[in-house]
A and B are shown apart, each in its own frame.
Chain A
Amino acid sequence: AQSVAQPEDQVNVAEGNPLTVKCTYSVSGNPYLFWYVQYPNRGLQFLLKYITGDNLVKGSYGFEAEFNKSQTSFHLKKPSALVSDSALYFCAVRDKDSNYQLIWGAGTKLIIKP
């Protein structure tokens, strides 16, 4: 069965430090992978996605994610965290052979402390 795991419910990082939010996946075929962010009291916003090609994907707000096929991971990273990055982050995956449906992780709350 297809699935997405975000193993950390919460990640705490000091402002200015690098951050990583982890995501691993399991799909039957080659995946499309997504990261979304939800700021307090707002809808989800698209950050970035991996379709094919370069394993390092750059997205909005200085975020990037690295696709690692052997480890079936797609971790979200940022070199220097900002307090304003504090939000709920969701990883999602779609099997290339399926239509429409994304499989979503449970979400990771990122807290950046000044």
Chain B
Amino acid sequence: DVKVTQSSRYLVKRTGEKVFLECVQDMDHENMFWYRQDPGLGLRLIYFSYDVKMKEKGDIPEGYSVSREKKERFSLILESASTNQTSMYLCASSLESGPSTDTQYFGPGTRLTVL
């Protein structure tokens, strides 16, 4: 089974702090994704990466950056946390982008609260 792990289940930070969210997958997947989940809004893509050191912006990249130095690890960085970034953050990975291989597998999520 694919396993996607996230460094924290719950995180509380203060406004202005730099926040790192880590995600690791153990199945040699090419693609990795960061989403935020808010009630009534579904999942919104922040960034995704299709290879080491490669990234593309999703729908809501403002206020976030990402890093993928190793294939199995994808980090989300909040440079200066703000209260409107309080949310559930979900990491996902998929093997490739073809029709049979693009199923995304999700981690358990990190609930971030910014005070």
Contact A100 B105 (CB under 8 A): no
Determine the chain A residues whose CB is within 8 A of the CB of B106 once the complex forms.
36, 43-45
Which of A11-19, A63-71, A72-80, A102-110 has 4 or more CB atoms under 8 Å from chain B?
A102-110
Determine the chain A residues whose CB is within 8 A of the CB of B102 once the complex forms.
32, 94, 100
Residue of A42, A44, A49, A101 touching B48 (CB-CB under 8 A): A101
Contact B99 A32 (CB under 8 A): yes
Which of B36-44, B60-68, B70-78 has 4 or more CB atoms under 8 Å from chain A?
B36-44
Given contacts A43-B108, A100-B31, contact A106 B48 (CB under 8 A): no
Contact with B along A29-70 (1 / 0, CB 8 A): 000101010000111111001011000000000000000000
Binding site for A on B (CB under 8 A): 4, 31, 33, 40-45, 48, 50, 56, 58, 90, 92, 97, 99-100, 102-109
10 contacts between A and B (CB under 8 A): A9-B40, A32-B99, A42-B108, A100-B48, A100-B50, A100-B97, A101-B48, A102-B45, A104-B43, A106-B41
